[in-house]
Structure 1
């Protein structure tokens, strides 16, 4: 049984230590750890009314951003000492601008200091220089709000620890190829480790890995999941309850979160890791996505490919024809789905 993701946050706050909420996989969490903060990746909640966030963000936007904004306004995350967003997709960027405006014109709403990490993903040296400048800017901002310097030893320790956790997540993924772990269990592990101190995350994953070799294969037809990301388990659970077994995925709450390491404890290495952090749907070319998905389908032994796409998440459907052709297995696109829901009739035939 994995711990509730709130437990570590409560204990961290009780010790008087700062919590950094963040949105998007492009936030360099190593710098948050090096600054003595707990990186807490914020999630939406499909079962909660998100009308307050939708009213402020406007229509035509992925429901996850609306849900996160609603929860921030309602105080669902408790006290956050800082809030950091990345430009991983259009919804995250708009969320940043709306939060910044709320802080400016509605001081009665208690929002913490806010920062945008603007990571770009073009494969050019000029892009690397741009991202490096943004990493350095983020480091300076954190030092100012934390009231302490992030020294090179702290940064080196944080980079090494986060790389170890990424390595353990990749090792966990290999067990999914042997069907020793359900997709719902794997998603829960990612959710847990993105809400706890990095040392506890490493311990949790090592304990989980120690149990996997003796497990019997999980039942279900192995399927590889592409399309929209999933920050909550409802869709995974529905698919696996219907007789499928999710053996891998290419979104950043799953396998894509740990696809590359940083290695050297330098600002340049951090910039390069986030610039080239894996072919996510909102930022990679169709060819890159197709090649990555096809290789993962083969590596995990998936018999089918399923593209699940939420309403107002416009990037994934463009990828699907090339992914289907490259994967060479039966493939299904389930488009325009409500957050946290899936039309199983379109999947299970």
Structure 2
């Protein structure tokens, strides 16, 4: 395939990213069932097997209401405020249900707030809710616990859509496996000696895929991957590996690349490469439970040594020149990881810098200052470097 075909697919995926709520609403208006998802622990395989589109909800610094902040309290990750703003504002009424994974304290508080609001204020038209509580300890009891939780989720999804999960699970597992394979190939297009995609564009492709059914996303991704060899090489910029808070919008990437001339070659967060780390070994609940138990280490659920080792390996793999941590205010877990991550990459001679307690909208000037101060020296947990 030629560059025009790949470029057209890329443009379409970026358009989807920039208009995700509208794109998914249009799918709902066409008769598609849509299940909202909060967090990365909810298996897309189960949602698609139930005949629905899995739409991973996201926020934006411009979508924050005083009501949402009052309901949840100010001392919470602002992503939760932004998602609640959308629900209370009526922009997500097309959802047939909403599954919240207990992957962070903010997600858990969001679920409890929505459940109470749905009970006390039915006029809000908040969709049916379900909390998914998966554990990530590498033990067999954990796998059995998670399998039970996924069985309950499968029953709930079937009740929401009217389609039992069992009939479509084999096909959905295969489709999502291909999706992850293609997205990994897309992510690799920013690495290596001849990068052809920026980290910003990769982030947008991954975000678009989290809002589309696989029957729509897979043809676009195949066209992009097959035609990638003809895409022009990018100018060489400072190769940055990003850690810290998951970036559910692209402003940090745009600032690093468009304003500061860097190239984001990877990230260990679940709106990026970490979301692609689950490998499902079979079309059954047990295989799903083990895959999601063992997926790449998230800050809120994994041990410090495992996080640091995973980050260091990815920094080496991407030939990053600096590790940059960007941690939002009230999202404390990633800042506790950073000293161990810094020590792990310093062993390979890679400097690092941390921006902690950042607002939802990070300033390019602060990113520039952090990159200018990058060092291999130790830093106290949670401190600004």
* TM-score normalised per structure 1: 0.96
Q: How many matched pairs?
A: 348
Q: Which residue of 2 aligns with 1:233?
A: 250
From 240, 261, 276, give the equivalent of 2:279: 261
Q: Which residue of 1 aligns with 2:239?
A: 222
The CA deviation string for residues 9-53 of structure 1, in whole angstroms up to 9 with x for no partner, is 244222222111110000111111111111111111112233221
Q: Which residue of 1 aligns with 2:185?
A: 171
Secondary structure in structure 2 of the residue aligned to 1:306: strand
TM alignment of 1:186-205, pairs within 5 A: 186-205=202-221
The answer to whether the 8 Å contact 2:49/2:165 transfers is yes
Q: Which residue of 1 aligns with 2:344?
A: 326
Runs of at least 5 residues in structure 2 that lack an aligned partner in the other structure: 1-10, 373-385
Q: Do structure 1's residue 19 and structure 2's residue 56 form an aligned pair?
A: no
TM alignment of 1:123-142, pairs within 5 A: 123-142=138-157
Q: Which residue of 2 aligns with 1:145?
A: 160
TM alignment of 1:244-323, pairs within 5 A: 244-323=262-341
Q: How far apart are the structure 2 equivalents of 1:24 and 1:296?
A: 22
Secondary structure in structure 2 of the residue aligned to 1:85: strand
The answer to whether the 8 Å contact 1:160/1:263 transfers is no
Residues 217 and 282 (structure 1 numbering): CA distance in 2 closer, same or farther, change over 3 Å?
same
- List, as ranges, runs of 4+ consecutive aligned residues in structure 1 with deviation greater than 4 Å: none
The CA deviation string for residues 185-209 of structure 1, in whole angstroms up to 9 with x for no partner, is 0110011111111121111211222
The answer to whether the 8 Å contact 2:260/2:368 transfers is no
* TM-score normalised per structure 2: 0.87
Secondary structure in structure 2 of the residue aligned to 1:111: coil
Q: How far apart are the structure 1 equivalents of 2:268 and 2:214?
A: 23
Q: Do structure 1's residue 242 and structure 2's residue 263 form an aligned pair?
A: no
Runs of at least 5 residues in structure 1 that lack an aligned partner in the other structure: none
The answer to whether the 8 Å contact 1:8/1:197 transfers is no
The answer to whether the 8 Å contact 2:93/2:125 transfers is no
Q: How far apart are the structure 1 equivalents of 2:355 and 2:23?
A: 36
The answer to whether the 8 Å contact 1:163/1:263 transfers is no
Superposition RMSD in Å: 1.4
The CA deviation string for residues 97-136 of structure 1, in whole angstroms up to 9 with x for no partner, is 1111111111111111110111111122111111110000
Q: Do structure 1's residue 344 and structure 2's residue 367 form an aligned pair?
A: yes
Shift of 1:322: 1.2
Shift of 1:145: 2.1
Shift of 1:318: 1.2
Q: How far apart are the structure 2 equivalents of 1:339 and 1:218?
A: 29
From 88, 91, 105, give the equivalent of 2:106: 91
The answer to whether the 8 Å contact 1:262/1:269 transfers is yes
